[in-house]
Structure formats: structure tokens, C-alpha cells
Amino acid sequence: MSKKRRMDIKEILERIASAPPKLIEVGRAPPRLVLSFGGAGALVTYSLGVAQFLLEDKKEHLNQWYFLGSGTGVLPAVALPIAVQNKSPDLIRQIMEYIVDNAPPHLMNEDTRRAFVFNGLTKFLPKDAHVTVSGRACLSVMVDPECVVGRVGGELSKNQILYGLPMTSWPSVEALAQVMAGAMSPYRTHPVDYNGVGLIRSSRYSLSTEVDQHIRHVYVHGFGGSMRKSNHSRHAILFGRHGTLLNTSQSPWLQYLTLALPGRRKNALRFAYDAGYNDARRFDRWEEDPYQFAKGDRSAGDDEDWRTLRQKIFNTDAKNQQQ
């Protein structure tokens, strides 16, 4: 990326029109559920499997839900409202097949990665995608530190630093594609330009602190195989009263291997897609009463490792776990 003029963070926020979603307004019914997709690299196929099940089995509820996305989680967050609006039952599956078929045998260089991303976005985003997604989804990005005058956190709140800058509207489909590409950019050295500001991936934390806590919030992440409990503690905001779905279908070693060599583990990517679909089918918290969702004992806790997360997510009977 060419050298850019360094700007005050306030100017940057104005340029990218960053604003948290307004989900509770007078005279407007709030969403019954906020569904947040975390970034997981190529293992986003797990989240796409979850999205495919919802599109097939919970379609009547999707218009009452709101979607959040960070990292590659922007793909299902954007694809769901588009698939519902355009009545495209195969859109999400086609995105999954594109990822699997075009995944390289090893980590991509930046030129190859960018071509892979933009070719896919051009193929799957309809011309009115920015209109369809506005008001239905929020995408999380972070600003390239080289664009900011002074410390990156100079004018940013703690939530913005931890969870990224939320973007909820775009003037064109090209602008939406640029923001999605920026949200998926994994390197600070290769930001994606948007209106003169370099955008990169935000953290994989949940965005639930940016939305009203009186709305139910379910978090989906395609990479749930952390081997260190401290990594789960960093995601403590996920494991609360709302519910979470993590990819615990494979060991952390296999998940790391799939992320590093996606093209050589195409079957693992498809397996993650199927696992996401089946996990979403087993998950029983999609239609809880929004005023009776405080069931913290049914969600995974900070002290869990990948072996026990799955039991907690699906509320396995404690007696059966001991036997």
C-alpha cells in the first residue's frame, strides 16, 4: 500500500462512517436475536454450515434477527440477509464450495490472497447488496496504525480497541466489498484502502458489548480448538447467558493444520461445514423467549478446554458425563 496521509482518529471515523448499530429505537421492534460470527480463516466453512441450516430451517425468523461479523465471519453475516432477500437457497453453499475449490495448498502471498478475496466478492455480491445488508448487519474492522496520528488508542474507547470499529452502512456495493476485504485482511502490512483509510482485520472477540444487552446474543466461531484455557478467558464475553456455538468437532492440532494448509485439507473444510450444519441443528436456543434467556449454567465457561466445551454447548447431562 502506498504511503498515506496520517490523520486524527476522529477524521478517520468520519471517513469510514463508523457507528455502532442502533437496535433499540422508539416505535421500532428490536431484533429477537443478534447472531455474531467470529473470524476463523478458512474454517469459516463451519460458520457457513450454521448459516445454511438457519436459512433452511429458521428462515421465518431471520428477518427478525440482526447479524454481526468480524474477520472471515463477515461472509455469513452478509450472505444471510442477501440469501433471504433474494430467495437464494444455494448462495451460502456456493460460497463454501468457492472457498474449498480455490483454497491454496499453503498460506497465500498477499497478491494471491487479495485476488482470491475480491474474485469471490465480485462473484457473489449482487448489485444491490449494500442496500440489502444496511440495517441488517454490522461489520467490524480495525484501522491501519500507519494512518493514525499518535497512539492508535488516542481517541478510541476500550471497546473499540478490543472489538474493532463497527460499520453498518455503505454507499455502494463496491464500498461494501472493500470493507469486507479489509475486515478479512490478516496483516497490518497489507491493509485494504477504503476512502483513504487502510482497513485491517479486527480481533476475533465477540461484538456483543456494542449492542444492547437486553437483546439475546448468540456467538458462532469456526475455530474453537484452543489448547490454552487463557484463550477462552479472553473470550469471556462469549460465554454468558446468551449461548455460543464453537467448532469443537476436531482437535486444536487438526484445526491449526487446516488453517495453515487449507488446500491440502479440503475434506477438513467440508467436514467443518457439515459439523456447523449439524451443530446448529442440535442447538436448542434459537427461539428462546428474549426475556427469559439468562441461563448461564447452560453455556460454556472460561475454565473449559476444547474437550468439554462441546458437552456444555449442547447441555449434556452431568450424570452422563461422569459415566
Please report the pLDDT score of residue 301 as a whole number: 46
Cα–Cα distances in Å, from 179 out to 196, 262, 322? 12, 24, 47
Residue 3 lies in a domain: no
Please report the pLDDT score of residue 311 as a whole number: 65
Please report the pLDDT score of residue 300 as a whole number: 47
Rounded-to-integer distance, Cα 264 and Cα 10, Å: 44
Residue 243 lies in a domain: yes
C-alpha grid cell, residue 212? 444492547
**Range of lowest pLDDT (46-50, 104-108, 141-145):** 104-108
Nearest to 259 by CA among 106, 137, 155: 106
Model confidence pLDDT, tens digit, residues 110-156: 888 888 999 999 999 999 999 999 989 999 898 887 776 555 445 56
> 277: domain range?
9-21+30-322
Q: What are the backbone dihedrals phi and psi of residue 278, each rounded to the nearest 5 degrees, phi first?
A: -70, -35
Looking at the structure of the chain, the number of domains it has is: 1
Coil, helix or strand at residue 82 = helix
pLDDT at 210 over 60: no
**Helix (H) or strand (E) run with residue 69 in it:** strand 65-70
**Range of lowest pLDDT (184-193, 197-206, 233-242, 287-296):** 233-242
pLDDT at 22 over 50: yes
How many CB atoms are closer than 10 A to CB 122? 11
Secondary structure (DSSP) of 108-167: PPHHHHHHHHHHHHHHH--TTHHHHHTTTEEEEEEE-GGGBSS-TTSS--HHHHHH-EEE
C-alpha grid cell, residue 265? 485439507
Model confidence pLDDT, tens digit, residues 252-286: 888 888 888 888 899 999 999 999 999 999 988 88
pTM for this model (two decimals): 0.84
Question: What number of residues does the chain have?
Answer: 323
Rounded-to-integer distance, Cα 166 and Cα 308, Å: 32
Residue 2 lies in a domain: no
Coil, helix or strand at residue 220 = strand
For residues 314 and 231, which has the higher predicted lDDT (pLDDT)? 314
Coil, helix or strand at residue 85 = helix
Q: Are 120 and 94 in contact (CB under 8 A)?
A: no
Q: What is the mean pLDDT of the chain?
A: 79
Rounded-to-integer distance, Cα 117 and Cα 122, Å: 9
Please report the pLDDT score of residue 305 as a whole number: 59
Residue 1 lies in a domain: no
**How much of the chain exceeds pLDDT 90, in percent?**
31
Cα–Cα distances in Å, from 300 out to 227, 236, 278, 286? 15, 10, 18, 16
